[in-house]
Amino acid sequence: MNVETITRPSLHVELLDRLRSLIVEGELPPGTKIPERSLCERYGVSRTPMREALKVLAVDGLVYLEPNRGAWVSKVTVEELEQVFPVMGALEGLSGELACERITDEEIAEIRKIHEAMVKHYKGRDLVRYFETNQAIHEAILAAADNQELSTMYRSLAARVRRARYMANMTDERWEQAVREHEDILEALEARQGLKLAKILREHLKSKFKTVRDWLEVQEPDSLN
C-alpha cells in the first residue's frame, strides 16, 4: 500500500481535510464503518490523531461514534437537510451582505476569474471541477466578509451541504439554472448590492436543496437513512 505521508506540523488539519473529502466525495459512503486501521496505514499516522480527527468530524455531523464499535459515516436524511439548508442559506446570505461592504476590487476580479473557470468546466461537462470552482466562489465571498465567527459557523455546516450536493444527480436543466444563478451572484457582488446578493444566495441554497431532496426521495427507503 502506498503511504500518503502527512507532514507533522499540519497533521491535524491535513488529516481532517483528507477524511472530510473521503466522506463528502463518497469514497466513504453513508452508513459504512470507517476503516481506521487501513486509513492510519494510508496516511502514515497513529491511531491517536486518527481518533481525534474522527471526534471533530462527529461534531460536524459527518461521523457518529459507537462505544466499542468504532466510527461510522453518518447517514443522510431529508429531515436532517431540511434543518441544515435553511441555516446554511442564512449564513450564505449574511456572508454576501458583509462581503459587499468590505470586498476589494482585487477580490472581485479574482472571483470573476474563478467564475469564468467554473463556466468553462460547465461547458466541458466536468462536474468534479465545476463543483471545486463553485465552492471556491462561495469560500471567496465568505473570506471577503471578514468575520471569523461567521466563518466558523459556516464551515461547521458546509461539509454536510457539500456531501449532499455531491450525492445528488444534477439534471442538465438544474445545472444550467445554477450557472445562471452564479451570473446573478457575480453581478450583485460587482455592484456591491448587499441585500440583493443576500437574497440571491439564499434562493441559490433553496434550489440546491430542492435538487438534493428530489434525488433522496427516489432512492431506496433504506439506502441512505
What percent of the chain stands above pLDDT 90?
68
Average pLDDT over residues 124-133: 92
What would the pLDDT profile of 38-48 be if each residue is shown by its tens digit? Answer: 999 999 999 99
User: What confidence score (pLDDT) does residue 1 get?
Assistant: 56
The pLDDT of residue 166 = 84
Q: What is the mean pLDDT of residues 144-160?
A: 93
Average pLDDT score, the chain: 90
Q: Provide CATH code, domain 78-217.
A: 1.20.120.530
pLDDT value for 223: 44
Q: Is pLDDT above 90 for 156?
A: no
Predicted pLDDT of residue 5: 56
pLDDT of residue 117: 98
Is residue 3's pLDDT more than 70? no
- pLDDT, position 86: 94
Residues 134-147: tens digit of each pLDDT? 999 999 999 999 99
Mean pLDDT calculated for residue range 96-107: 97
- 29 pLDDT above the threshold of 60: yes
Residues 174-188 have a mean pLDDT of: 95
Calculate mean pLDDT across residues 68-82.
90
- pLDDT bracket for residue 2 (50, 70, 90): low
Q: How confident is the model at residue 4 (pLDDT cuts 50, 70, 90)?
A: low
Q: Mean pLDDT throughout 11-29?
A: 89
- Report domain extents, the chain: 8-73, 78-217
Q: What pLDDT does residue 225 have?
A: 46
- CA 138 to CA 92: how far, in whole Å? 8
8-73 folds as: Arc Repressor Mutant, subunit A (1.10.10)
